[in-house]
Chains A and B, each alone.
Chain A
């Protein structure tokens, strides 16, 4: 496996509370799963994906967790096109112009 170098910007993962340690007042589905955490920071030692590591976060805190990825990327977007939205604008303009819409 590829080694990720000390100082790299990485994303980590950890379990904060096991399902048995969670608050007693939870819906059944939530009770069954652990409380999990993700954070990002600078890797403190060379490591491989999956290793337990320490990172220094943007506020200079040392946080431990499992190494997930290097240079984590934002992948949120405008999603897949939702065709149901398209006719709305044309319909409203038609109504404003006094015609009846056929959208």
Chain B
């Protein structure tokens, strides 16, 4: 009776296990070739904005405060050319039940699991999402299992991840902790099979629909406050769901002219699956180790088609260093009186730098904050880095080398974001599509799909294909 639980056997049952655990027939959205009907998938299997608002209202999720950061704006203006220095606002998502915007993302998944008779939910995450799922499941009376990548082979864990395990357990969840490696997916599959629980995946339409309310609220709050739409909304970007959901919400609110900006911590050079490099980074999300691969190949997740597709929405993308984000985290506490977690402040660091280039009558919304506490705070994260041989000093953050040092800016004027070449990322998306599907030529329908996937008009997409010598 016992099923074969060898690595190969479990991986080969992957499709079947996932189908049972998310209940979505992804095949029905596939179109010819590489294309699929993204909007149809979001409509048919997600929830409408009104439904999500209702679900979230009943569990205390959302309707978080939108605050103006007057002192940070004043600070940015000290270093801005005359007439520059946009006003900075922040959506205080830390006031969600589990302390981050991830409560929105979990709310719809857990609601859906409950409605469909699942006894429990499982999430594979080392981040805020575990606590979000556990908190929502506690409200609905469901069991939760969270599977974390937590330790290196010495058994040393990132303090931030250990804190998140504690928070999951505080909501009654079982937490399975693993060492570094993508085979977390194997444990995830065996646990799903073993329990029959719902896969509260980060990447289903349920999760992304849950984030749409964040973008929608930003537009509505902002109009009430300022009588117009914000000029830019900045999203900390890793797997891309935060940006995708927020952008979709803004569009649903009709804020068509708001620039959607992605922000990530630059961890280039560090390999995400490396045992020895695992504890040489001080950010566990919002960094390029997720941001780049997930944007340029979204369908690498646990589900066949990811609902998080950031290149569809991103207008600009900027990188900041670990030291710059830690500095801004301290600044937010010291001059704005808001002590919040570092990872969520990635977009804040970008806002501080970009504000100096934008006109002073323009506005920027930083779309989130996250909770802070033991382990998940710049003090323990920097202390841990130092124990792991990372040099920490004040200086020029542009000289930071991930895995070697963390440079806290010696002066706020030195905080300068670095733009990512989006055309390069879009090219890389196209290249991945060609490689994964062994494409020789794209059809007209596939071209329409690709244009939407990378947010380019026909002429620009054709230029990329010509550069790559791909027929269409």
Contacts and interface: CB of A to CB of B under 8 A. Distances in A.
Interface of A: 16-17, 21-23, 25-27, 29-30, 32-41, 57-61, 74, 76-82, 84-85, 87-89, 91-93, 95-96
Q: How large is the interface on B (under 10, 10 to 19, 20 to 34, 35 or more residues)?
A: 35 or more
A37 B155 CA distance: 10
Contacts of A84: 382, 392-394, 408
Contacts of A81: 379, 383
A35 B120 contact: no
B113 to A, nearest CB: 14
Interface of B: 6-7, 71, 74-75, 78, 120, 143-145, 150-151, 153, 155, 159, 162-163, 166, 169, 172-183, 186-187, 194-195, 271, 273-277, 326-327, 330-331, 333-335, 374-375, 377-384, 386-387, 392-394, 408, 411-412
Contacts of A33: 153, 179, 275
A80 B386 contact: yes
Nearest to B182: A23
Nearest to A63: B176
25 contacts: A16-B186, A27-B274, A27-B275, A29-B276, A30-B275, A33-B275, A35-B183, A36-B179, A39-B174, A39-B176, A40-B175, A57-B174, A58-B143, A58-B174, A59-B145, A61-B195, A74-B166, A77-B374, A80-B387, A82-B378, A88-B327, A92-B334, A92-B335, A96-B74, A96-B75
B379 A38 contact: no
A91 B177 CA distance: 41
A74 B162 contact: yes
Nearest to B74: A96
Contact of B275 (A29, A59, A60, A88): A29
A80 B383 contact: yes
A95 B153 CA distance: 45
A31 to B, nearest CB: 9
B451 to A, nearest CB: 32
Contacts of A79: 159, 379-384
B241 to A, nearest CB: 24
A82 B327 CA distance: 13
Given A29-B275, A77-B374, A89-B334, 16 more contacts: A22-B181, A23-B181, A26-B182, A27-B273, A29-B274, A29-B276, A30-B181, A36-B153, A37-B179, A40-B174, A77-B380, A79-B383, A80-B387, A82-B392, A85-B326, A85-B382
